[in-house]
Structure 1
Amino acid sequence: MFRSYLRLLLFTFGLLAGIQVPGLITDYTQRVQAHLLESREALKGFEQTAQRFFNGDLQALVRHYRSSNDPVFNSDANSIESILVRNQAFEREWQILKGPWLARTWHVLVTPDTQLREETLKGYSYQILLVPEAIAWGLGCGLLLALLIESLLMLLAWAALGGRRKEVKESWR
């Protein structure tokens, strides 16, 4: 009886954890999109200047600012370059998140940008989404967790008993 309740408890925990995956992916995607739009907006004026004087080459604009003897221009070159690097990072994240669901899921769960992951987790509020993909994730994680933990416990019990089976006593029935 205890095993049945443990199995149910593990399944429920896995179900609730699995339901969180699509919400987490959505929050991460929205965070990347917001930062990307912000960085694009920050570059807009510099892109216009680069378009006017350097055929749209932002790196040429940065080199021009760096070659100046004016410390203000040198400081601006650092600012532009940091915005440009940040924008490129967000563009890469966005391209990954526009890919197939498996690549997107793997990226968010395993190899996300650490700063964005921390921001997302800090602002994440647990939710129960009743959409097909959340239900599928929940059922899959619940089943997998219950199966793995129960199998591990059974393996440990088998090892503790020295690999022996219990003798079955024959019943008079």
Structure 2
Amino acid sequence: MLRSYLRLALFACGLLLGVQVPGFVDDYGKRVEAHRLESQQSLKGFQDTARRFFKGDLDALVAHYRVSDDAVMRSDAQSVAHLVQRAALLEREWQAMQGPWYAQAWHLVTAADGELFEETLDAYRYQVLLTPEAMLWGLSCALLLAWLAESLALLLAWMLGMGRTRRTQQRHWR
């Protein structure tokens, strides 16, 4: 009876953990989009300048700043280059988060930006979404966790010789 309750509790934990996945993926996507929009706003003036003098090429603008005779312009070149690199990173992250839900989840597991991931994790508030994706994630995680725990318990019991009948043990010792 205790085993049954433990199984149910483990299944419930897996279910509750699984339904968090779509909410976290959504929060990460929203965070990326917000940072991307802010980055675009920060570059707006530089993009206008690049459009007027360098056919819209921000890298050419940065290169021009780097070779300028003006020390202030050379100093700002690194700042503008950082803004351009950040905008490119955020654009790539945003593009990755525009795919199907399974591609988004895979991106988070394998290639998400560490800083944005940590920021999202720190600000994440647990939620129970009742969407089809959340239910699928919840049931999948619950079944996987329950299956893994049951398999581990059976393996340990088998290794320790528990669950064998006395007759089976005697037959093997003869």
Query: What is the CA distance between 1:76 and its match in structure 2?
Result: 1.4
Counterpart in the other structure of 1:59: 59
Alignment partner of 1:30 is 2:26: no
Distance (Å, rounded) in 2 between the aligned partners of 1:63 and 1:36: 23
Distance (Å, rounded) in 2 between the aligned partners of 1:167 and 1:63: 82
Distance (Å, rounded) in 1 between the aligned partners of 2:34 and 2:93: 12
Counterpart in the other structure of 2:120: 120
Q: Deviations over 1:109-155 (max 9, x none)?
A: 34311000110011000011111111111111111101110111111
Distance (Å, rounded) in 2 between the aligned partners of 1:65 and 1:76: 7
Counterpart in the other structure of 2:149: 149
Which amino acid in structure 1 is aligned with residue 58 of structure 2? L
Alignment partner of 1:15 is 2:15: yes
Normalised TM-score (structure 2): 0.91
Which amino acid in structure 1 is aligned with residue 164 of structure 2? R
Root mean square deviation of aligned Cα: 1.4
Runs of 4+ that moved beyond 4 A: none
Distance (Å, rounded) in 2 between the aligned partners of 1:7 and 1:166: 24
Q: Where does structure 1 lack aligned partners over 5 or more consecutive residues? A: 169-173
Which amino acid in structure 2 is aligned with residue 97 of structure 1? M
Counterpart in the other structure of 1:171: none
Which amino acid in structure 1 is aligned with residue 38 of structure 2? E
Q: Where does structure 2 lack aligned partners over 5 or more consecutive residues? A: 168-174
Taking the TM superposition and a 5 Å limit, the aligned residue runs for 1:1-173 are 1-161=1-161, 165-167=164-166
Identity of aligned residues (%): 56
Distance (Å, rounded) in 1 between the aligned partners of 2:137 and 2:101: 12
Which amino acid in structure 2 is aligned with residue 165 of structure 1? R
Which amino acid in structure 2 is aligned with residue 123 of structure 1? A
Distance (Å, rounded) in 2 between the aligned partners of 1:51 and 1:69: 22
Equivalenced residue count is: 167
Which amino acid in structure 1 is aligned with residue 34 of structure 2? A
